[in-house]
Amino acid sequence: MAPDPDPSRAAPTNGDLARIFHEIGDLLELKGELVFKTVAYHRAADTIDHSPIDVAAAYRQGTPPRIAGVGTAIGDKIAEIVATGRLRFLDRLRDEVPPSLVELLRIPGLGPRTVRLIHETLGIATLDELRAAAEAGRLRTIRGLSAKTETTILDGIAALAAHADRPARMLLGEADEIVARLVAALRDTPGVAWIEPAGSYRRGRETIGDIDLLAETDDPEGLVERFTSLTGIERIINRGNHKAAIRLVDGPQVDLMIVPPGAAGTYRIHFTGSRDHNVRLRERARDRGWSLSEKGFLRLAEVAESPEMAESPEMAESPEMAEMAEIAVATADDPGADPAPTAILASDAAPELRTFLTEEAAYAFLDLPFVEPELREDSGEIEAALAGRLPALVRLADLRGDLHSHSDWSDGVHPIEAMADAARRRGHAYQVLTDHSRSLAIAHGLDPDRVALQRRVIAELNARYADEEADGRAPDGAGPDGFRLLHGCELEIRADGRLDYDDDLLATFDIVVASLHVARRQSRAELTARVLAAIASPHVDVIAHPAGRKVQGRDDLDLDWEAVFTAAAVTGTALEINGSDHRLDLTAERARLAAAAGCLLAIDSDAHRIEEFVHLRWGVGQARRGWIEAPIVVNTWPLADLLGWAAAKPDRVATLG
């Protein structure tokens, strides 16, 4: 039993706990422990890292939260870390495994088993020692390794050094540019029917590591040749008849998989879903007597142990099914592969392989409805699918406007008119101009006189828009219901909790978006009080980028999220899902909790230039990952409903008072 927590000791953050459990998983891999143990620690680390709950604080309060993947054993370890600041189990592992071995896992293509083999055979424990051994040809003296292994390791070490300063993962905007460029370069290749991205990019994850491409073609060799001959390739990682992988110069690894005609359903599922989602599907397939892989569903028997089955005459007639049989046997004990420990191919009949053209048909084969890509994280989507409770996720087309944008009056790039015209041509019914308030000097915030002048400019533009619509002169792309530019502001929540404008001035805006930029290092109580004060204002309609986070750049504000969600729900104040790929704030996990607490949400671009209206796409993706449906997103509402909601805020607050 862990000792009582020491309140004077700084509590570990969720990120600290995640790093500890990832390290444990790595160390166990290097020790050669069973795969399910290492997977359990890595999965717990990922869940803790993305949890909107302050895990350490909950343990200190004596109310450990229920977290997926965290059972009694890991829970006891969290309690020990929180209480003592150390973990005896981790200390013991560090004593048993040289820390430098963990660093070797960063070398592309070098797995824990090979690292362990090299260490145990040659005593190599550092990157420099490994490089020297490979250059001297010593690694090939180890059984199972070869000159090719040495070349691969040296290439990996060189790649590691070359990319030492490169962020580990890309933001969505960067990944999108690369995907668009690759698809444009490959889609006209003779024989290609279609080519599209999969993987974490398709799921809309906040950051992207490798890029996965799927393509159907009647000339696989021609497409692979075109793919491996693209400009901007640093090196070709592998090249086969139906797949290839490349590393781009100053860019990510890109994997191309050729899809056989008529089999796209399971390929799209396999290469889109997270590992955990795919494991759940394979479990379900196994329970029905099938082995599921990207190639389709292969009939299994419930008993018999015959690895030789993969070499049977029936398999010789179908190399593809022989490969699947080998995989089914070889990965039988791997929880991350097919979870069936003894199920192999039936030996009393020719192998049966079922393929499907669409994902819908493949899911239906498992008696499941189609699961949207953004939900495929094993975060309850299988249970929801079985219960008929999958959400009707919000779509980009559902947005009628955008409540957060800037112009060159504050820290934006383009003039008001240019920003408004761009929004109008997107078919939106409204756009809210929310330049910064006066105290944010670095962003050229507006004083009351400039606010009044800006209001006149907006009125003149709206008069022009009304005349054009009345005369049938609306520009291409304009929506059928007209367009209105709304006057708003991004109101600074000052360090002392006061708002940057007085109530009389705030009452003149159509929409007020409040945010916190300064004094971020205050205590949780102080930061939370500032946000709650803004929520309680009769004039604040939206809390912008509530966590103040920067993806891969800045930690979240230390807020009492339960208090924030409760106050927002009670007052009808919307919480923003900021679509900038640098922010994506709220996180998907917090958005889901906010919705469960009864909060309204807004999906906004925070555009500072015309090109940044694309942020709405990332914001919608983030909302979809958070299981958000359109009715609770205020900027899916018609203009009259939006303005009515904002106008009613004083009455809602007065009633609570």
Question: Are 126 and 113 a contacting pair, CB within 8 Å?
Answer: no
Residue type, 119: H
Cβ-in-10-Å burial (0-12, 13-18, 19+) of 306 comes to: middle
Tokens of 337: 């592969």
Tokens of 447: 């004083």
pLDDT at 317: 42
pLDDT at 552: 83
Q: How many Cα atoms occupy the beta-carbon half-sphere of 348 within 13 Å? A: 4
Residue 446 β-bridge partners = 437
Q: Cα separation of 490 and 633, whole Å?
A: 19
Q: Among 398, 395, 392, 477, which residue's Cα sits nearest to residue 635?
A: 398
**What is the three-state SS of 76-114?**
HHHHHHHHHCCCHHHHHHHHHCCHHHHHHCCCCCCCHHH
pLDDT at 485: 98
pLDDT at 357: 97
Bond before 586 cis per omega within 30 degrees: yes
Cβ-in-10-Å burial (0-12, 13-18, 19+) of 141 comes to: exposed
Q: Cα separation of 512 and 650, whole Å?
A: 13
Identify the helix (H) or strand (E) that includes residue 196: strand 192-197
Q: Cα separation of 489 and 136, whole Å?
A: 65
pLDDT at 166: 53
pLDDT at 350: 58
Q: Cα separation of 223 and 14, whole Å?
A: 44
pLDDT at 595: 98
The 8 Å CB, 24+ separation contacts for 95-99 are 96/27, 96/31, 97/27, 97/30, 97/31, 98/125
Any idea what DSSP says for residue 331? T
Q: Cα separation of 318 and 323, whole Å?
A: 9
- pTM, entire model: 0.74
Report, as ranges of residue numbers, the positions in the chain whose pLDDT lies below 70. 1-10, 162-168, 302-350, 657
Domains (ranges, CATH) in the chain?
14-97 (1.10.150.110), 100-162 (1.10.150.20), 170-259 (3.30.460.10), 280-387 (3.30.210.10), 396-656 (3.20.20.140)
Residue type, 359: E
Residue 485 β-bridge partners = 431
Cβ-in-10-Å burial (0-12, 13-18, 19+) of 323 comes to: middle
Q: Cα separation of 31 and 28, whole Å?
A: 5
pLDDT at 351: 76
CA 598 to chain centre: 23
Q: Cα separation of 410 and 402, whole Å?
A: 18
Residue 576 β-bridge partners = 602
Per DSSP, the three-state class of 432 is strand
